[in-house]
Amino acid sequence: MTTHKTDDRSCVLPLIKQANLGHTDEMLADSGYDSHHIYEVLQKQSIKPIIPPPVNASTSSRSTLRNAMVEYIRKKGYWAWHTKHNFGRRARVENTFYRLKTIFGRKLLSRLIENQQTEGHMLCHLLNKMTDLGMPQTVKIA
């Protein structure tokens, strides 16, 4: 949990330290996480970064995996890269956060960060419980 002023890239190392690295094979992220430093950090941890580079990305001598991603997109296009890496999984994550915010509100009720962390865990648990009970089925009528 961070404030809205926190740069996402600065949170990667603390998140890696919190995560169970035995179960972390790859990181799906938006292009806001694209940086040579992030690629290097993830590669040192044996985590495959799946981060789309920006449209105007250029290759450099620092990160060979990032260069490979940029070159692959240049040659075959973004949607080929998207399909190859099953990047659509990220949309499911975004959809889950949309559901969480729609159901429980866009703001946390607690003021202290420790309480906000507990509240966040509780909301995730409630959303998981609701999902376990059954997702609504949407049917087109007209």
pLDDT in tens, 19-71: 766 677 888 888 888 888 888 888 888 889 999 988 888 888 776 888 888 89
Task: Give the C-alpha distances (Å, rounded to integers) separating 27 from 6, 45, 90, 92, 123.
Answer: 19, 11, 10, 14, 23
- Give the whole-angstrom CA distance, residue 104 versus residue 127: 9
* pLDDT at position 139 over 80: yes
Residues 62 and 98 grouped into a single domain? no
Q: What's residue 134's pLDDT?
A: 83
The residue type at 47: I
pTM exceeding 0.85: no
Residues linked to residue 50 through DSSP beta bridges, in sequence order: 28
Residue with tokens 């292009």: 31
* pLDDT at position 88 over 80: yes
* pLDDT at position 141 over 70: yes
Q: Is residue 139 part of a domain?
A: no
Domain holding 26, by residue range, is 8-87
Residues 57 and 17 grouped into a single domain? yes
